[in-house]
């Protein structure tokens, strides 16, 4: 039975992103539903990460509106924006950790900025998040340079979860991981999503990740969201890029591995 999603937690309407004369998005619409894992896919240059950055306020679009939790983030005053930002977490590629801070201090950083907590409570909450993402206790005092690529990603995820968010944004979470590490990270994302009731917005090119974690997929093409739907629904989309991506050899291998094909 298909998973029943909740109301829209993010609503993007008429979005236009442009760099000089290069228009990346034009008249782009997208809904992210509460409780889902939404995968964002598209060819090179379609602006997958630009879309993520626009939603979280790191890229100001030329036109359009972006509502999060019912608040237009492009028009929100500082107090409203702070309330919204307290309800989401972001994990960038390779974790994007502060190199001069330990893992614990990295995870504490959002708490220092937004919560009034004493040092002991802050440290305990950080250690809890670090344990939740599968890092060993000794990792709390290590610096990013002392971590493997997979450990840095887990530390980045722990920091994204620091404020107990409603939604997490993940930018290519399995990029650079070996197949076993990527599969383990997929399992981690799905288990945390269920345990914490998270909504997940995930930019990815990894077909295995799409099959393992996503409830719906949004395809960026022709400067907009061309289509959204389940992985099964993607197989019926009559568009050259979508056909090549979801019907190619790697797609069939990913589908078989996920148990979607005999």
Q: pLDDT tens digits, residue range 9-19?
A: 999 999 999 99
Q: Is the pLDDT of residue 254 over 60?
A: no
Is residue 31 one of the residues assigned to a domain?
yes
Mean predicted confidence (pLDDT) in 48-53: 96
Q: Do 189 and 75 reside in the same domain of the chain? A: yes
Q: Do 180 and 83 reside in the same domain of the chain? A: yes
Q: For residue 255, what pLDDT is reported?
A: 56
Q: Do 177 and 52 reside in the same domain of the chain? A: yes
Q: Which residues contact 50 (CB under 8 A, 6 or more apart)?
A: 17, 24, 25, 59
Q: Do 99 and 219 reside in the same domain of the chain? A: no
pLDDT confidence band for 258 (50 / 70 / 90): low
What's the pTM value of the predicted model, to 2 decimals? 0.91
Q: For residue 93, what pLDDT is reported?
A: 79
Please say whether the beta carbons of 246 and 43 come within 8 A. no
Is residue 238 one of the residues assigned to a domain?
no
Q: Do 158 and 29 reside in the same domain of the chain? A: no
Mean predicted confidence (pLDDT) in 195-211: 94
Q: Do 128 and 156 reside in the same domain of the chain? A: yes
**Cα–Cα distance for residue pair 179/212, rounded to 1 Å:** 13
Q: Do 171 and 66 reside in the same domain of the chain? A: yes
Q: pLDDT tens digits, residue range 143-179?
A: 999 999 999 999 999 999 999 999 999 999 999 999 9
Q: Which domain holds residue 146?
A: 91-164
Query: How many domains, in total, are found in the chain?
Result: 2
Q: What is the CATH number of the domain that holds 39?
A: 3.40.50.300
């Amino acid at each position: 039975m298909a998973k029943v999603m909740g109301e829209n937690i993010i609503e993007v309407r008429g979005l236009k992103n442009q760099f000089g004369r290069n228009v990346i998005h034009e008249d782009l619409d997208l809904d992210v539903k509460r409780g889902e894992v939404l995968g964002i896919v598209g060819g090179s240059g379609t602006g997958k990460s630009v879309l993520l950055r626009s939603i979280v306020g790191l890229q100001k679009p030329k036109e359009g509106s972006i509502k999060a939790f019912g608040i237009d983030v492009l028009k929100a005053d500082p107090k409203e924006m702070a309330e919204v930002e307290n309800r989401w977490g972001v994990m960038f590629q390779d974790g994007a950790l502060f190199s001069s801070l330990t893992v614990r201090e990295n995870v504490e950083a959002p708490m220092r900025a937004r919560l009034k907590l004493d040092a002991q409570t802050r440290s305990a909450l950080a250690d809890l998040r670090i344990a939740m993402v599968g890092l060993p206790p000794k990792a709390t005092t290590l610096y990013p340079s002392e971590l493997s690529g997979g450990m840095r990603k887990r530390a980045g995820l722990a920091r994204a979860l620091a404020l107990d968010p409603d939604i997490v944004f993940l930018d290519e979470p399995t990029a650079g991981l070996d197949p076993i590490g990527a599969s383990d990270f997929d399992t981690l994302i799905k288990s945390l999503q269920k345990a914490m009731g998270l909504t997940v917005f995930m930019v990815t090119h990894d077909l295995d990740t799409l099959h393992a974690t996503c409830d719906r997929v949004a395809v960026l093409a022709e400067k907009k969201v061309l289509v959204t739907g389940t992985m099964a629904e993607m197989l019926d989309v009559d568009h050259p890029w979508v056909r090549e991506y979801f019907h190619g050899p790697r797609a069939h291998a990913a589908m078989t591995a996920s148990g979607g094909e005999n």
